[in-house]
Amino acid sequence: MAIQKPKGTIDILPGQSEKWQYIEEISRMVMSDYQFHEMRTPIFESYDLFSRGVGETSDIVSKEMYDFLDKKNRRMALRPEGTASIVRAYVENKLFGPEFNAPYKVYYMGPMFRYERPQGGRQRQFHQLGVEVFGSNNPATDVETMALAMDLFHQYGLKEFKLVINSLGDITSRDTYRSALIAYLEPFTEQLSTDSKARLHKNPLRVLDSKDKGDREIVKDAPSILDFLNEESLQHFEMVKTMLEALEIPYEVDSTMVRGLDYYNHTIFEIMSDAEGFGAITTLCAGGRYNGLVEEVGGPETPGFGFGMGLERVLIALDAENVEIPNINELDVYVVGLGEESNIETLKLVQAIREFGFSAERDYLNRKAKGQFKSATKLNAKVVITIGEAELESQTANFKVMKTGKQETISMKELYKNFDKVYNLQTTDMTAFNDFFNKED
Ligand code: ATP
Ligand code: MG
């Protein structure tokens, strides 16, 4: 039997890869507007980075890691998320130093790996676009970063999504809340799922995040973290809301929302799709503030804010909203070469056209004119240049603009020398221009 791809992975084929390029291109443009710079870190790291950075009790580390021993028995892992690696690189390269502009703002884009049960919008190798900001406690950083995420979705052409925010407060607020939550959950211990039971004392906030139906019923009436925020945490959260309003960004507050990762505090947020037919899993993007993580990984006390966006889910949203993706791989010229004798001239001409910066394609199978024209139409070529026996003889070519049907004979010499000028002249639609002058007459 032929070998198949690993479960939970996909081949992104031509026809689909253009959609990825579209998203990637827009993302890079938006990142530049916000002055975020790209950072590329290794796809695998030491296991300990994630167990420390993401948290031992998280689903990601406890169940979903692709970890392995290398040939020298070092425990390694394929990265399940981006933040821990970026923080490691930030610390290891001392990017907190005075020669670097603070806040330090980076983004990453690439594959992540989690051993999960594959389903729509959930794969074992998937792709995230994420950003991290280091060194700012200003709530404006929280809001600008959320605005950036919202802006990305707008620029992709999506309309039906919403921003949901919450605050986990600072460590003091979180500790007070933690005790209150344990006190609330303890009487339900026996009814909780096995996972939640194990987390009840280790990390009770995680119980709020449980997807188990029974757990969800129990946590429905749990105390709200927002009632436990101390003065400082409350002030930060109020300022975040005021600033979102100043930018006229609509949002909802969901006090039961906690994020799966251990390191969050203060503002956390998710962006969810509202699109009909999106499917059950609607979170496209999630993130928040993580003061404390840089220290955890061995760096100086540094506030952080970031998010991770699932690109497969962005693609599902684009489909669900029927967003039209522009063709970024257009064909300018198809060269029809007729007969074996035209092979070398065709070869030279497509290369010359490409060197002028236009895209060009040709036939390689010595097909008849009809078959070649069919390909040109299918590829949506804007221009078809034909070289037949007569043209070879006279060193000319037939230049046809497909949209208008306009044809002209052009000398080969002119094509090789001034292709750009010929192309622009021939393809310029003169109808509007002529209409205008005819009217003036
Ligand atoms: P979920 O609750 O769906 O499991 P998560 O909390 O594990 O999500 P994060 O770790 O916050 O997700 O990752 C951020 C984003 O990455 C998610 O909102 C989602 O869009 C995407 N994502 C996470 N896991 C997967 C996966 N296995 N396949 C595809 N996309 C994923
Ligand atoms: Mg998950």
Check which CATH number belongs to the domain holding 344 and give it.
Answer: 3.40.50.800
Q: Is residue 312 within 6 Å of ligand 1 at its C-beta?
A: yes
Within this chain, do residues 260 and 404 fall inside the same structural domain, yes or no? no
Q: Residue 220 and residue 212: Cα distance in Å, rounded?
A: 12
Within this chain, do residues 378 and 308 fall inside the same structural domain, yes or no? no
Within this chain, do residues 93 and 153 fall inside the same structural domain, yes or no? yes
Nearest ligand 1 atom to alpha carbon 270: 18
Q: Are 265 and 244 in contact (CB under 8 A)?
A: no
Q: Is residue 128 within 6 Å of ligand 1 at its C-beta?
A: yes
Within this chain, do residues 316 and 339 fall inside the same structural domain, yes or no? no
Indicate the length of the chain as a whole number. Answer: 441
φ/ψ of residue 169, rounded to 5:
70, 180
Residue where one domain finishes, among candidates 299, 320, 341: 320
- Asked if residue 327 is part of any domain, the answer here is no
pTM over 0.85? The answer is: yes
Residue 357 φ/ψ region, left for φ over 0, alpha for ψ in the -120 to 50 degree band, beta for the rest? left
Q: Are 289 and 186 in contact (CB under 8 A)?
A: no
φ/ψ of residue 233, rounded to 5:
-65, -40
Residue where one domain finishes, among candidates 289, 320, 351: 320
Q: How many A from CA of 58 to the centre of ligand 2?
A: 9
Q: Is residue 116 within 6 Å of ligand 1 at its C-beta?
A: yes
Q: Are 250 and 162 in contact (CB under 8 A)?
A: yes
Q: Are 244 and 233 in contact (CB under 8 A)?
A: no
- Tell me what pLDDT residue 282 has: 85
- Cβ-based neighbours of 178, under 8 Å, separated by 6 or more: 204, 205
Q: Residue 58 and residue 64: Cα distance in Å, rounded?
A: 9
- Asked if residue 389 is part of any domain, the answer here is yes
Q: Residue 163 and residue 179: Cα distance in Å, rounded?
A: 29
Structure tokens that stand for 88 in this block: 């490691």
- Tell me what pLDDT residue 33 has: 98
- Asked if residue 99 is part of any domain, the answer here is yes
Within this chain, do residues 283 and 383 fall inside the same structural domain, yes or no? no
- Tell me what pLDDT residue 213 has: 92
Within this chain, do residues 389 and 273 fall inside the same structural domain, yes or no? no
Within this chain, do residues 236 and 351 fall inside the same structural domain, yes or no? no
Structure tokens that stand for 342 in this block: 């035209």
> For atom 20 of ligand 1, which residue has the closest CA?
310
pLDDT along the chain (441 residues), means of 10: 96 95 97 98 97 87 96 98 97 95 96 96 97 98 98 97 95 90 94 91 87 91 94 97 98 86 86 85 92 92 97 95 89 97 97 98 97 97 97 97 96 97 89 67 52
Residue where one domain finishes, among candidates 263, 293, 320: 320
- Tell me what pLDDT residue 261 has: 65
Within this chain, do residues 127 and 250 fall inside the same structural domain, yes or no? yes
> For atom 21 of ligand 1, which residue has the closest CA?
310
- Tell me what pLDDT residue 42 has: 98
- What residue numbers bound the domain in which 362 lies? 333-435
From the list 324, 322, 210, 320, the residue with the least C-alpha distance to 273 is: 320
- Asked if residue 206 is part of any domain, the answer here is no
Half-sphere exposure of residue 11, counting CA atoms within 13 Å on the CB side?
5
| Mutation test residue for ligand 1: of 58, 60, 122, 272, the one with most atoms within 8 Å of CB | 122
> For atom 16 of ligand 1, which residue has the closest CA?
310
Within this chain, do residues 307 and 400 fall inside the same structural domain, yes or no? no
- Asked if residue 149 is part of any domain, the answer here is yes
Within this chain, do residues 341 and 382 fall inside the same structural domain, yes or no? yes
Q: Is residue 62 within 6 Å of ligand 1 at its C-beta?
A: no
Q: How many domains does the chain have?
A: 2
